[in-house]
Amino acid sequence: MGIEFFEKERIFKLDTPKSSYIIGVVDEENFVGHVYYGKKCRDYKLGYLMRTDEAPFVPSKNERDRLSFLDAFPFEYSTHGLGDFRESCIQVKTSKGQSAVSLSYVEHKIYAGKPALSGLPATFGTEQECSTLELVCRDNVLDLKVILYYSVFEDTDVVTRSVKVVNEGKETIYLTKVLSACLDMDNQDFELLTMHGSWARERKVQYRKIGYGQQGVTSLRGESSHQDHPFMALKAGDATQEMGDVYGMHFVYSGNFLAQAELNQFDSVRAVMGINPKDFCWKLEPQDEFQAPEVVLVYSAQGLDGMTTSLHTLYRKHLIRSEYKDKKRPILINNWEATYFDFNTEKLLQIAKQASELGIEMLVMDDGWFGKRNDDNTSLGDWDVNEEKINGGLKYLVDEVNKLGMKFGIWFEPEMISPDSELYKAHPDWAIAVPDRTPGRARNQFVLDLSRKDVREHTYESIAKILRSANIEYVKWDMNRPLSDIGSAELPADRQGELFHRYVLGVYELQERMMTEFPHLLLENCSGGGARFDPGMLYYSPQIWCSDDTDAIERLSIQEGTAMIYPLSTMGAHVSDCPNHTVGRITPFETRGYVALAGTFGYELDVTKIPEEDRNSIPEQIQMYHKYNDLVREGNYYRIASYAQNHEYDCYMVVSQEQTEALVTFVQVLNRPNCKSRKIKLKGLKSEANYVLEETGALYAGDTLMNAGILIENPWGDFKGKLLHLTMQK
């Protein structure tokens, strides 16, 4: 593993445990080309794959057909305006109104470790864990330096990429597009895998065959969005869940994005990813630099399962920083679906007392504790405790909860401001808005202009004063509307195109500052559920509320898409009340527990009002959580069957890193009359080992479980689940 440069051939070779990524420099103009990405190769002399010995050849041999070369060469980082008519990665606007960029290799550095990205979340690793290539390119006409960063890790099959742009000239340049990664490859009858959704139905998996032209997913909402996700994968036509070539791209960013695949006339696919260039324009003054966010590339020859394992490993070990990443999260009960805005100190303590007796470990007070907040029409921005509801004060409430042996958590929505608030009356210019236009409200709220230092400072101190006032050990950070009416009262006219990105940088700054002052805080990000569930947020919080839809059956497909690319430990998942508040469905309490077990596990209900049978089941569920959470949090996840595809049942499993233990979750959504038991083939076990099925005591060979399978009898009824726990025979 590592990175090498072969000077004679001008080849860079980046190796992960099972893959190789190869870059070549060609011709007198030092074009940087993509050579190969795939299964690990011993050889590095693969420059022939760039086809520069075929017509139209390189410009030094055939200047008359320069455009033909530029429009077909597999560029490592594509540029705009000079003859490559595919999607470009970088575009500018100069004082002369021109937009073209051309990049040539200048120099490089290879070193152990990985640099941080200023102001941005990014993966990390020690000098023993990863290596980095800085590939420096330059446009001599613009005096523009572009540094391409590549890092590889010793323990997972990913290549991370990011880009820094430096203005080394004497004139101001406006960057109108700076994407973070480009990947040119021959088509393998690729299908494009993306994730789509909306509020309450996030991250549904979609496959479509790549056709000629451009296709992909985007966001212009100022968030990584419910509707599309900053991820895509190219799956070879013959690839399956378990085998075949899959190339994944994931954006470590929480705002507007572009993820696009383009099939051209030569049957080459160009995949690009980065900040969405629409409404983006960054003023780069002389000697200024712009850092683009990171993209994670993953190659798997073991189908989707291999991609999932690589991403899970990367995020668990090299992205999440919280002290909670490697330990159990406290089992919480959130009062939102229990009370909504109708609560006071007595009601919260009543819930806490009952919950503590059942073994629940934390009470979270959700929306409605501040200002005049008795509904969602007022008071965002006025982060002062409403002591008419929290009678006795916040510290009294927290202390009383602590006396019960429970931790205390609290909800904020720091990025928003209500038109009906004291803050808005004092500072209407602090809201993002376009002058002379009627602003668009969503949930009757506006968005604070976090590009402004004074707004960030006020926002931070408003939150911090609450956290300093009592023993608060958990924060749920919400964000319930997209950005619109993009205008800042402070940014000058030629910097208004920076607002979207500056907003995201402001969010990162606030969360970084909070976690620095309160390092032991458990932070859970949320955005109307899953509107900002992305790798960027995981850098600050080890878990994100997966969806506002807590229905166990809806959660099967939501959590399937999420778990394809994120560790189970990151998915906020709770057992909620029935009929479910989103869809009205009634599911067994037991099944709700099984589905929530695949995430952080907690409760979202009024424990004092649920049926006694359900309440009496909680200690057993908590015992289940403590028994299996280490395995669920740390193990390798495998998808066995998809309810979203078969419309009948769902099945997935987690296997310990040592392959000594496995947990299979089976949920029968719809029962079938007059049918035999289902045969399930397991994954990830040791073929030569024997495993005991705890539920029956039966002994099975590992290869039998994976190749022949195991039978699961159909439960009687709909929405019924089962757990199968296997341990290796000693």
Per-residue model confidence (pLDDT) at position 707: 98
Per-residue model confidence (pLDDT) at position 507: 98
- In angstroms, the CA 68 to CA 80 distance is 15
Among 672, 679, 677, smallest CA distance to 710 is for: 679
pLDDT digits (tens, 9 = 90+) for 119-136: 999 999 999 999 999 999
Hey, what domains does the chain have and what are their CATH numbers?
2-318 (2.70.98.60), 332-634 (3.20.20.70), 640-728 (2.60.40.1180)
For residue 41, pLDDT beyond 90: yes
Q: Which listed residue (245, 382, 478, 606) is catalytic?
A: 478
pLDDT digits (tens, 9 = 90+) for 656-685: 999 999 999 999 999 999 999 999 999 999
Q: Which listed residue (305, 449, 548, 614) is catalytic?
A: 548
Per-residue model confidence (pLDDT) at position 414: 98
Q: What is the mean pLDDT of residues 276-300?
A: 98
pLDDT digits (tens, 9 = 90+) for 356-365: 999 999 999 9
Predicted confidence band at 708 (pLDDT cuts at 50, 70, 90)? very high
Q: CB atoms < 10 A from the CB of 141, how many?
A: 12
Among 526, 505, 435, smallest CA distance to 255 is for: 505
Among 564, 113, 570, 114, smallest CA distance to 316 is for: 570
Mode of pairing for the β-strands spanning 543-545 and 571-572: parallel
- In angstroms, the CA 223 to CA 23 distance is 33
Q: How many CA atoms lie within 13 A of 34 on its CB side?
A: 24
Among 422, 488, 478, smallest CA distance to 450 is for: 488
Token pair of 179 as six digits: 């994407």
The helix (run of H) or strand (run of E) holding residue 148 is strand 144-153
Per-residue model confidence (pLDDT) at position 570: 98
Which residues are bridge partners to 576 per DSSP?
604
For residue 1, pLDDT beyond 80: no
Q: Which residues of 183-200 are buried (b: 16+ CB within 10 A; e: fewer)?
A: bbbebbebbbbbbbbebb
Per-residue model confidence (pLDDT) at position 194: 98
pLDDT digits (tens, 9 = 90+) for 409-447: 999 999 999 999 999 999 999 999 999 999 999 999 999
Per-residue model confidence (pLDDT) at position 2: 94
| Average pLDDT score over the chain | 97
List all residues 6 or more positions away from 656 whose beta carbon is below 8 Å from its beta carbon. Answer: 631, 634, 635, 636, 662
Per-residue model confidence (pLDDT) at position 225: 85
Token pair of 149 as six digits: 């960063």
Cα→Cα distances 607→202, 359, 546, 551, Å = 27, 12, 22, 17
pLDDT digits (tens, 9 = 90+) for 213-250: 999 999 999 999 899 999 999 999 999 999 999 999 99
pTM over 0.95: yes
Q: CB atoms < 10 A from the CB of 458, how many?
A: 17
For residue 183, pLDDT beyond 90: yes
CA 307 to chain centre: 14
pLDDT digits (tens, 9 = 90+) for 578-616: 999 999 999 999 999 999 999 999 999 999 999 999 999
Per-residue model confidence (pLDDT) at position 730: 84
The number of residues in the chain equals: 730
For residue 333, pLDDT beyond 80: yes
pLDDT digits (tens, 9 = 90+) for 462-510: 999 999 999 999 999 999 999 999 999 999 999 999 999 999 999 999 9
Looking at residue 645, its amino acid is Q
**Does the active-site annotation cover 548?**
yes
